[in-house]
Amino acid sequence: MIVLNSTNVGILNLLYHGRFSQNDLALYLDVDSKTLVKNISQLNSSLNDLGLNLIEVRDGKHQLNLEKDQWSYILNAKEFMSSEDIIDYLYIKFIFKGFINLESEKNEFQISRSSINRYFLVVKNMLAENNSSYKYENAKGLRLIHLSLQDKNLFCKKLIKLFVKCDFIISPSTIYYNLFKDSQVNELSEKLYKIFTFSEVSATKFIVAFSLALKICVDTFNGFEFADDYDKLEQYAEIKKLVEKELESYSKDYKQQIFSFLLNLKNKENFFEQGIIERAKLLMKELKKQLNIENIEKGFKELLLKKLYMSLFKYENNILKVYSSKLNNDDKRLLKILDETLLKTGLKIYFYDKVVILGILKKIIIEKNRKDIGNILLLFNEIILPHDLYLKENLQKQIPHINIDIMPSFHLKFNYLNCVNHYDLILSDEITQDLNVEKISSFNYLKVLEKIDKKAIEKGLNNLV
């Protein structure tokens, strides 16, 4: 069997999505170029042994050309699991089954006895550290005797990692399929989505993954206790009814815990892992300080904290996602600040998540600085524009606090100083060399809003200098 490291697996996941330069691969995987070259060489050796195409460089970009069934095999087969993935599997299987036979696992993975013992030693150390216990059964294997709360939480966390990685569906080609084929999890995600949507709860990937993991946790050790001592439970009667309907074929305990989990979410209870939450709060505190955004609206604050939490969770559990996007100058300035803040706090996240976080930070900065834009002048070469009520009405709906004046282009020529001093933003559909005037391709209200947001982010970033 080929045993890969997490960087090997990351390279394969990235190349499955497209072509990447060496710098981009290093950026996504958070490794240096020397490490990257070594890992690609290892992968090519393994691919060559299997008679598959090798990773090659064309036009400065790495690529791996494989057929669909070959990609499915590489991304899902146990032969391409990393050592960390094997350890996770052994840990999950031992707790789920309550028993494990290492000789059978050795044969399953087609590895040596010393290798399987080495992997399972990590599992035993985790169990010992968390105060769980097991016993040896002669010529049979190991049986779990006591599972601590710490290991219940860790088991759930590893299941969340699994469901996030596999996008909620356990493929028949994965080693987990036979383990969980009777758990009804593959049919569950669609039902859960209906319930979350009806309940007006944001069905994030993390929440859906936790709900799927909860099903297995209920089957394994009766799940968890959720706070459900809320007043006026009758107001949730319709949600309760839908849970009973959609999850009719599932256990009473699972239905009750999903309902309680929904109430927790609707009442803003915190169910995240406390250690990661504290690290996410520390990172958010430093970002707010560095970006001068101390007073964030509640909705943005909750969104940013959740994204920082998920980013840290994914990095700490090697859950790599691909984001294909070009960064503009504003993005690069924000990325530099984010990287400096991560370095200061001693935390790490993947490049994909950095880009998503940049989007949230930009929205916060725009919202904060858009309030300081009070007057906008639109200079149009078309004579009909001053009477464009549709444009003004749409802009007033979106930005009611901003005064919009629409004038013919020559208005600026006769009132230059007054215009420059009075207006926070001047837009024109004519090409101009004037640095105080921005060119706009058309006076579509969405284009105008785009320019306003651009001005707001510039104001916010310039205030940091």
CA distance 335 to 423: 30
At residue 265 the predicted structure's pLDDT band, cuts being 50, 70 and 90, is confident
Of residues 10 and 338, the one with the higher pLDDT is: 338
- Give me the pLDDT at residue 239, please: 92
Which range has the top average pLDDT, 45-59, 195-209, 244-258, 323-337?
Answer: 244-258
Q: Say what the pLDDT of residue 325 is.
A: 66
**pLDDT score for 388:** 61
**Rounded Cα gap, residues 351 and 315, in angstroms:** 10
pLDDT score at 298: 85
Give the pLDDT confidence score for residue 102 in this predicted structure: 95
pLDDT tens string 129-155: 999 999 998 878 999 999 999 999 999
Q: Are 14 and 29 in contact (CB under 8 A)?
A: yes
Q: What's the whole-number mean pLDDT along residues 218-244?
A: 84
- Given a cut of 90, whether residue 225 has pLDDT beyond it is no
Query: Mean per-residue pLDDT for 330-359?
Result: 93
What was the pLDDT predicted at 74? Answer: 84
From residue 255, alpha-carbon distances to 170, 181, 189, 211 in Å are 22, 20, 14, 11
Answer whether residue 358 shows pLDDT above 80: yes
- How much is the pLDDT for 41? 92
Q: Would you state the pLDDT for residue 282?
A: 96
**3-state SS assignment for residue 389:** helix
Q: Does the structure show a pLDDT above 60 at 384?
A: no
Q: Give the mean model confidence (pLDDT) for residues 372-390.
A: 73
pLDDT at 166: 85
Confidence band for 232, pLDDT divided at 50, 70 and 90: low
Is residue 320 scored above 80 in pLDDT? no
Provide the pLDDT for residue 464: 78
Looking at residue 304, its pLDDT comes to 93
Reported as a single tens digit per residue, the pLDDT across 387-431 is: 566 777 888 888 888 888 888 888 888 899 999 999 999 998 888
Give 437-448 pLDDT, tens digit per residue. Answer: 988 887 778 888
pLDDT single digits (tens) 83-133: 899 999 999 999 999 999 999 999 999 899 999 999 999 999 999 999 999
Instruction: Reply yes or no on whether the pLDDT at 223 is more than 80.
Output: yes
Task: Give the distance from CA 302 to its chain's centroid.
Answer: 15
The pLDDT value given to residue 231: 60
Region 342-361: mean pLDDT is 93
Q: Amino acid identity of 127?
A: L
Residue whose C-alpha is closest to residue 452's, from 400, 390, 407: 400
First-to-last CA distance in the chain? 55
pLDDT at 465: 57
Cα separation, 289 vs 74, whole angstroms: 44
Instruction: List alpha helices for 267-328, DSSP H.
Output: 274-291, 298-316
**How does the average pLDDT of the chain come out, rounded?**
88
Radius of gyration of the chain (CA): 28
Beta strand 56-58 with 61-63 is antiparallel
Contact 304, 296 (CB under 8 A): yes
- Alpha-carbon gap, residue 285 to 296, rounded angstroms: 11
> Residue 265 to residues 12, 378, 423: CA-CA distances in angstroms?
36, 45, 45
pLDDT in the model for residue 375: 92
**Residue % of the chain over a pLDDT of 90:** 45
